[in-house]
């Protein structure tokens, strides 16, 4: 039983390490059956500490022979499963069989002198699988779920766990399954398979009518569509916040008032562009906001009337599209931000 628990911890730690779920200092090097592996210690980040506690709680159920399966889920910020790994357990005459959900019998019993090679093959396949898969989003999180055998006491919950309701998977998401090999001894069997969920394409559906990525984007936590933050009267200038979540006007069932018209949305985007630029021209507005000449010219003139731009020595005409005008930062960050975003 100790061997199965150690191997379970190694598999979970290998997945966590190679999917970059935690910091480097959350892992330590250990030797297992002559193989150097990375093990989660849970000394630094909250996620690593939680995973170590979850595994400890799962092993408590394992010792009581209540444990039926352990599932490691990796989710995005929308709480949609990206990847999952499930280890299943069965108990026969004080012996334990461990297998991955959906795995099939892949052969007979291995001799003990082939055990190390079998473990190496599994770990090597896990490394290949997890390193070649697409990088996880920055807001990825982990969850460990366990299920019990039917003879488990109704009120039993191991340390660190609480009851949960099983959710149905999101319809339409394609699932890819990968076989990573098997480890078999005279007492245990472990088949490892990975399961990855196809990530839906992110769609920009914004009030301004533009689908460009040249601005900070917010994702609706209900429908998953992306909108420019400025169009929603949210003043954000850091692109590393592009995966922040909110509820769009459609999902919140809020009426679209004149301040959310395409014209006003584009002007707010022009204000944000001023906040991150030293100078601005009609051609820059055209490129950054995907505008035609007349719309870019209109917004440029409006910015000048609001005092966001310093008047140049040349008249602003369509013939001087590339003539830059200096941005009045204090006017933008104080007056325009207050007038068009904070009210």
Residue pLDDT, tens place only, 268-315: 999 999 998 888 888 889 988 999 989 999 999 899 999 998 765 555
217/204 Cα distance (integer angstroms): 9
Contacts of 249 (CB under 8 A, 6+ apart): 207, 232, 255, 256, 260
- What mean pLDDT is predicted for residues 166-172? 55
Highest mean pLDDT pick, 57-61, 182-186, 309-313: 57-61
For residue 246, the model assigns a pLDDT of 77
315-327 residues labelled b (16+ CB within 10 A) or e (exposed): ebeeeebebbbeb
Most confident of 91-95, 141-145, 166-170, 236-240: 141-145
Question: What does the DSSP 8-state code read for residue 91?
Answer: E
Q: Residue 288's closest CA among 273, 310, 309, 304?
A: 273
Q: Which of 116-125, 248-257, 315-324 has the highest mean pLDDT?
A: 248-257
Position 262 confidence tier, pLDDT thresholds 50, 70, 90: very high
Averaged pLDDT for residues 246-256: 78
Range 238-266 average pLDDT:
76
Q: Is the pLDDT of residue 261 over 70?
A: yes
Model pLDDT, residue 272? 93
273: Cα separation from own chain's centroid: 27
Pairing of strands 141-148, 226-228: unpaired
Contacts of 115 (CB under 8 A, 6+ apart): 33, 183, 185
User: Could you tell me the pTM of the whole model?
Assistant: 0.56
Average the pLDDT over 240-253 and give the result: 68
Compute the mean pLDDT over every residue in the chain, rounded to the nearest whole number: 76
Instruction: Give the model's pLDDT for residue 169.
Output: 53
| CA trace torsion 104, 106, 109, 114 (10° rounding) | -130
Mind listing the pLDDT tens digit for each residue in 294-304? 999 999 989 99
Place of tokens 């990968």: 178
In the predicted model, is pLDDT for residue 67 greater than 60? yes
Written as six digits, the tokens of 219 are 């994702």
| For range 157-178, the mean pLDDT | 67
Q: What is the pLDDT of residue 113?
A: 46
Supply the pLDDT for residue 102: 32
Percentage of the residues of the chain whose pLDDT score is greater than 90:
14
Q: How many CB atoms lie within 10 A of CB 186?
A: 11
Alpha-carbon span 143 to 81, nearest angstrom: 10
- Could you tell me whether strands 244-246 and 217-220 are parallel, antiparallel, or unpaired per DSSP bridges? parallel
Position with higher pLDDT, 12 vs 186: 12
- Region 131-151 average pLDDT: 81
pLDDT at 105: 31
């Amino acid at each position: 039983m100790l061997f199965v628990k150690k191997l379970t911890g190694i598999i979970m730690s290998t997945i966590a390490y190679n999917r970059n779920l935690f910091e480097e200092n959350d892992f330590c090097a250990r030797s297992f059956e002559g193989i150097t592996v990375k093990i989660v210690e849970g000394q630094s980040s909250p996620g690593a500490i939680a995973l170590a506690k979850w595994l400890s709680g799962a092993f408590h159920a394992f010792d009581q022979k209540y444990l039926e399966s352990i599932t490691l889920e990796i989710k995005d910020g929308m709480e949609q499963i990206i990847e999952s790994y499930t280890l299943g357990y069965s108990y026969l005459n004080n012996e334990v069989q461990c297998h991955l959900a959906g795995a099939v019998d892949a052969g007979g019993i291995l001799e003990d002198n082939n055990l190390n090679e079998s473990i190496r093959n599994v770990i090597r396949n896990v490394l290949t699988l997890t390193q070649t898969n697409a990088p996880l989003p920055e807001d990825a999180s982990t969850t460990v779920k366990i299920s019990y055998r039917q003879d488990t006491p109704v009120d039993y919950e191991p340390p660190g766990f609480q009851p949960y309701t099983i959710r149905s998977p999101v319809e339409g998401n394609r699932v890819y399954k990968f076989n990573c090999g098997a480890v078999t001894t005279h007492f245990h069997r472990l088949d490892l398979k990975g399961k990855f969920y196809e990530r839906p394409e992110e769609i920009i559906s914004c009030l301004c009518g533009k689908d460009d990525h040249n601005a900070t984007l917010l994702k609706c936590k209900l429908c998953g569509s992306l909108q420019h933050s400025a169009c929603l009267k949210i003043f954000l200038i850091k692109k590393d916040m592009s995966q922040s979540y909110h509820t769009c006007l459609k999902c919140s069932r809020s009426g679209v008032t004149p301040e959310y018209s395409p014209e006003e949305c584009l002007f707010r985007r022009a204000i944000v562009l001023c906040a991150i630029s030293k100078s601005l021209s009609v051609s820059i507005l055209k490129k950054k906001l995907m505008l035609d000449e007349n719309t870019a010219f209109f917004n440029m003139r409006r910015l000048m009337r609001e005092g966001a731009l310093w008047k140049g020595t040349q008249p602003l005409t369509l013939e001087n599209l590339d003539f830059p005008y200096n941005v009045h930062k204090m006017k933008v960050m104080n007056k325009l931000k207050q007038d068009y975003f904070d009210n």
